[in-house]
Amino acid sequence: MSYTEATIQLLNPEGSLVTSDASAEYLPYIDALSDEQLREFHRQMVVVRRFDEEAANLQKQGQMGLWVPSIGQEGAQVGSGFAARAQDHIFPAYREHAVARIRGVDVLDIVKLLRGTTHGGWNPAEHGNFHLYTLVIAAHTLHATGYAMGIALDGKSGTGNLDADEAVIVYFGDGATSQGDASESLVFAASFQTPQVFLLQNNHWAISVPVSTQSRTPLYLRPSGFGIPGVQIDGNDVLASYAVTRKNLDDARAGAGPRYIEALTYRIGAHTSSDDPTKYRKDSELDYWRQRDPIPRFEAFLRSRGEGDAFFEEVRVEAEDHAADIRRRTFEIQDPGTSLIFDHVYSEPHPLVVEQKAWLAAYESALDENGAQA
Amino acid sequence: MSDIQTLPLAKAINAGLRQAMLDDPKVLLMGEDIGPLGGVFRVTEGLQAEFGAKRVIDTPLAEAGIIGSAIGLAMRGYRPVCEIQFDGFIFPGFNQITTQLAKLTNRHEGQIQMPVVIRVPYGGHIGAVEHHQESPEALFAHTAGLRLVSPSTPNDAYWMIQEAIASNDPVMFFEPKGRYWPKGPVDFSASSAPLHSTRVVREGTEVTLLGHGAMLSVLLEAADIAADEGTSIEVIDLRSISPIDYGPILASVQKTGRLVVAQEAPGFVSVGSEIAATVTERAFYSLEAPVLRVTGFDTPFPPAKLETIYLPDADRVLEAVDRALAY
């Protein structure tokens, strides 16, 4: 499943702006961006890709139990990530490393999650309202819808003030569209007309199962059956991702109801470090999508606007420095204390947990220095 | 000043919900048919008319959607009270309850709280069709992060629902639907016990009977019959299934030396099994007999014409009392 006639593209794979009836509505959003904002799109895509490569290496070296690569999806993530306004709430799946970084999460916290020192990693309230990753597929789509119901109940959407009205964006993948929770979240969003954008990153593979097994019709058509407008974009076009998400989020925050965006992209890497995509997909498909990589396309665009080598070199060095910093700090991560097992199971003391924490402390204190029963 | 009225348990919950909504504007009710209809058991009757459709929300017919969106509302600062229409219909929401609601405070390392109440009308005695008479509480008691309570009287129902709503942890509130309509006194002036406490409801010396929800009326009937036969029975209302308040249970067993635990749920890997194991560990030298369980059978809940055979009644409880006394 690839681009269709309905796919909105603002930047073609050669890096030139597309002028068409479909793009005309969105190009003003690009015109409004400053040169510095455009440079920032590139910077984030490059730094996060380099981080992703470093994290994969760290996993191979035993520093993490698992790594979840996002390579190839930087355009979909960086564009939509910058489209959200400061007051918005982001509900990610578990591969949105670029969005996390844009919203202020130290991506070392993602390393900690996959290393096994935490089940969470960051406090959303202190990190750009970027909520925790959710590993049970699509479960978080309902949390996003409930949160958006709360925004509407609070009267914090639909006032006409784009800088104050709040909205929610929820990320999920093509596999998640088959989960009941994803459909129920569309039902609730439509019924309560939530200020919310559903952002589907269709990366074409749910581990080893192709999107054609999840859906025989383009997925952007599915929400129309729920009464929610859907649109399909070239997710490897960071400008389309930005402009279409910006417009749809602003429509949702203005009270127009939920919106759905299918961003066509591709998982260049494996599902996770435990996966082996050579067992189920063809090199020709990978080649097709490598030619549509979001980063070279956007670099060509910036160069066509006069951006010179100095900037790209500066970003390359920043990405190297960031990766080296992550590597250094990964080796410094401390294991959590055993109290983490017990401390936050309940927010108010639960006798069973209190008792078992005390038991473990007594048991451990009775062991000798070799860990044997004293 | 006491302010006592006589109400059915269902109306006591209604009054408790109403008071909680008056006390805190963040309290919301959500569920299927809870608005103009007032719920299939009329527990929320009149509340949408009083508080409006934004605080008493008729949801689409989807239990995962109800629980999952309640989680999002709780993240936003609301205190949602979800009604699940019947015990056997909670399972479409099981994933949201066990993998999400129960774990989110833990996953956030205490940085958020999940004050969500899930009301579950449960248990038999109403002659209903399949999936409408079950007692699934053990499945949830096994899940860390949840609190479970079950009132047996209108007074407890009125107070415990408010205390559950005030809790900052998720609370599953199991309502004994077979006891919705018998009336009892409700003292509106003050709660008589903390939410997570067991209570001795009848003192005795020879055997302790323990149960929760609709089981209590059966245990009290059994105690009356036993008294006529000259046997002194102590009866304890469990009230809180997670955590369990073992203090009064152990004190009673130390006095009587015999414990019979009764429940409508199947016995295998159940609340009664857990209590039997714990009491055996902690009061072994006080026991004159093994802790005995009187439970539903380890089968699906049968068609309604067989429910009086399936559900423990006073005779089955007394049979266990006799066995305990025979040791």
Structure tokens at A157: 């959407």
Residue A271 forms contact with B (CB below 8 Å): no
pLDDT of residue A293 exceeding 60, the answer is: yes
The predicted complex's ipTM stands at 0.97
Alpha-helical (H) ranges within A61-217 are: 74-83, 97-102, 108-115, 139-153, 180-192, 211-214
Angstrom distance (rounded) from CA A178 to CA A134: 16
Asked if residues A253 and A31 have their Cβ atoms less than 8 Å apart, the reply is no
List all residues of chain A from 123 to 152 with a beta carbon under 8 Å from chain B.
Answer: 123-125, 131-132, 134, 136, 139, 141-151
pLDDT of residue A374: 63
Distance from CA of A143 to the nearest CA of B (A): 4
Q: Which residues of B touch A184 (CB under 8 A)?
A: 60, 62, 64-65, 68
Tokens 């130390």, located at residue: B254
CB contact under 8 A, A139 and B68: yes
Q: Taking CA atoms, what residue in B is nearest to A143? A: B72
Q: Per-residue pLDDT tens, chain B, 327 aa: give them.
A: 579 999 999 999 999 999 999 999 999 999 999 999 999 999 999 999 999 999 999 999 999 999 999 999 999 999 999 999 999 999 999 999 999 999 999 999 999 999 999 999 999 999 999 999 999 999 999 999 999 999 999 999 999 999 999 999 999 999 999 999 999 999 999 888 999 999 999 999 999 999 999 999 999 999 999 999 999 999 999 999 999 999 999 999 999 999 999 999 999 999 999 999 999 999 999 999 999 999 999 999 999 999 999 999 999 999 999 999 999
- CA-based end-to-end distance of chain A: 64
What is the DSSP code (8-state) at residue A327?
Answer: H
State yes or no: cis peptide before B243, omega within 30 of 0: yes
CB contact under 8 A, B109 and A343: yes
Q: How many CB pairs under 8 A join A and B?
A: 135
Q: Which residues of B touch A193 (CB under 8 A)?
A: none
Angstrom distance (rounded) from CA B215 to CA B174: 13
Distances (CA, A) of B153 to B4, B291, B312: 14, 26, 19
Q: Taking CA atoms, what residue in A is nearest to B74? A: A147
CB contact under 8 A, A136 and B105: no
Q: Which residues of A touch B107 (CB under 8 A)?
A: 119-120, 132
Which residues, listed in sequence order, are joined to residue A140 by a DSSP beta bridge? Answer: none
| Burial grade of A119 (CB within 10 A; 0-12, 13-18, 19 or more) | middle
Angstrom distance (rounded) from CA A374 to CA A371: 8
Q: Which residues of B touch A346 (CB under 8 A)?
A: 105, 145, 147, 169
- pLDDT tens-digit profile of A299-343? 999 999 999 999 999 999 999 999 999 999 999 999 999 999 999
Element (H, E) at A169: strand A168-173
**Residue among A339, A346, A350, A357 with most chain B CBs within 10 A, to mutate:** A346
Q: What is the 3-state secondary structure (H, E, C) of chain B?
A: CCCEEEEEHHHHHHHHHHHHHHHCCCEEEEECCCCCCCCCCCCCCCHHHHHCCCCEEECCCCHHHHHHHHHHHHHCCCEEEEECCCHHHCHHHHHHHHHHHCCHHHHCCCCCCCCCEEEEEECCCCCCCCCCCCCCHHHHHCCCCCEEECCCCHHHHHHHHHHHHHCCCCEEEEEEHHHCCCEEEEECCCCCCCCCCCEEEECCCCEEEEECCCHHHHHHHHHHHHHHCCCCEEEEECCEEECCCHHHHHHHHHHHCCEEEEEEEECCCCHHHHHHHHHHHHCHHHCCCCCEEEEECCCCCCCHHHHHHHCCCHHHHHHHHHHHHHC
Residues of chain A with CATH 3.40.50.970: 21-332
Question: How is chain B split into domains, by residue range?
Answer: 7-187, 199-326
List all residues of chain A from 145 to 204 with a beta carbon under 8 Å from chain B.
Answer: 145-151, 153-154, 180-181, 184-185, 187-188, 191
Structure tokens at A123: 């406090």
Catalytic sites of A, residue numbers: 267, 271, 280
Q: Which residues of B touch A191 (CB under 8 A)?
A: 59-60
Tokens 């009308």, located at residue: B121
Q: Which residues of A touch B52 (CB under 8 A)?
A: none
Domain B7-187 is classified in which CATH homologous superfamily?
Thiamin diphosphate (ThDP)-binding fold, Pyr/PP domains (3.40.50.970)
pLDDT of residue B29: 98
Could you confirm whether B108 is annotated as catalytic? no
**What CATH number does domain B199-326 carry, 3.30.200.20, 3.40.50.920, 3.40.1410.10, 3.40.190.10?**
3.40.50.920
CB contact under 8 A, B72 and A151: no
- pLDDT tens-digit profile of A204-255? 999 999 999 999 999 999 999 999 999 999 999 999 999 999 999 999 999 9
Distances (CA, A) of A302 to A17, A315, B200: 11, 13, 77
**What CATH number does domain A21-332 carry, 3.50.50.60, 3.40.50.2000, 3.40.50.970, 3.30.390.30?**
3.40.50.970
